[in-house]
Amino acid sequence: MDDDALLTEQMAYYRAGAAQYDRPYAEYEALQELLTVVDDLPITGDVLELACGTGQWTPRLAARAQSVTAVDASPEVLALARARTTSPTVQFLEADLFQWQPPRRYDTVFFAFWLSHVPPTRLPDFWNTVATALAPGGKAIFIDDGPAAAAYEEVLADQPTPTALRRLDDGSQYRIVKVFHDGQTLTDDLTAQGWSVRIRPMAGNFIGIAEPLTTAGPGESDQNT
């Protein structure tokens, strides 16, 4: 299966499973505690939230930010996010993050449990998009599963792209991209791409803060060499 087909199936999974999306947040105390780390992160100014899902993180971002632009490709999860988020400073956008380009710059770009769903071949383009979205002095803040989370997934072996099988309550099953990033490897990779990055583990997850050494606005060339 090529990346395009896998990403199409991944999108179908999140659309079909929107009603089940919040279940882990209700069932796992560690995940509930992880939500509270937003209060200790350098989230300021205008915030771009990528892959906002059902808005578990969005109200917490809004409490710290001047404004939040929350983007997701699934209309089903966005409907739930809108119902959860009452702040007038939040704007929701439906867009495919592999196609969409930010029209402006933001002080903070935030994404939780999204990086692991980006195919490795598309990571350089993804990080270029993040850099383009950041205002000078801005930060990318990201949270995701560490390698230990692989024990809780049905990982499919011998796939060209790291893949896991997910099942919904109706018995349907979908393949999704699932990359279990090692903190040190991710730090090294981002450093090589021109980022200053700090990643710390937290209860099987990791929290990263990254700043590009140079930023290029929409339509501008990056002068980083």
**Can you tell me which residue has the tokens 């790291």?**
162
Q: Which are the contacts of 66, defined by CB distance < 8 A and separation ≥ 6?
A: 44, 45, 46, 47, 89, 107
Q: Please state, in angstroms and rounded to a whole number, the distance separating the CA atoms of residues 211 and 157.
A: 34
Residue 221 lies in a domain: no
pLDDT at 76 exceeding the cut of 90: yes
Over residues 129-143, the pLDDT tens digits come to 999 999 999 999 999
Sheet containing 195-202: which strands, arranged edge to edge? 90-94, 67-72, 46-50, 106-112, 134-145, 205-212, 195-202
Quote the crossing angle between the two packed helices 75-84 and 3-16, to the nearest 10°: 40
Predicted pLDDT of residue 223 = 39
Residue 206 lies in a domain: yes
Q: Please state, in angstroms and rounded to a whole number, the distance separating the CA atoms of residues 135 and 47.
A: 10
Residue 113 lies in a domain: yes
Residue 188 lies in a domain: yes
Predicted pLDDT of residue 170 = 96
Q: Quote the number of domains for the chain.
A: 1
Residue 101 is given by DSSP the state -
Over residues 149-206, the pLDDT tens digits come to 999 999 999 999 999 999 999 999 999 999 999 999 999 999 999 999 999 998 889 9
Residue 25 lies in a domain: yes
Two tokens, residue 151: 């024990």
Residue 8 lies in a domain: yes
Residue 73 lies in a domain: yes
Q: Please state, in angstroms and rounded to a whole number, the distance separating the CA atoms of residues 99 and 67.
A: 23
pTM of the entire predicted model: 0.93
For residue 56, give its domain range: 3-212
Residue 182 is given by DSSP the state -
Q: Would you say 70 and 92 are in contact if contact means Cβ atoms under 8 Å apart?
A: yes
Residue 12 lies in a domain: yes
Query: Three-class SS of residue 43?
Result: coil
CATH code where residue 198 lies: 3.40.50.150
User: What is the helix (H) or strand (E) element at residue 137, kind and residue range?
Assistant: strand 134-145
Confidence of residue 127 (pLDDT cuts 50, 70, 90): very high
For strands 46-50 and 134-145, give the pairing: unpaired
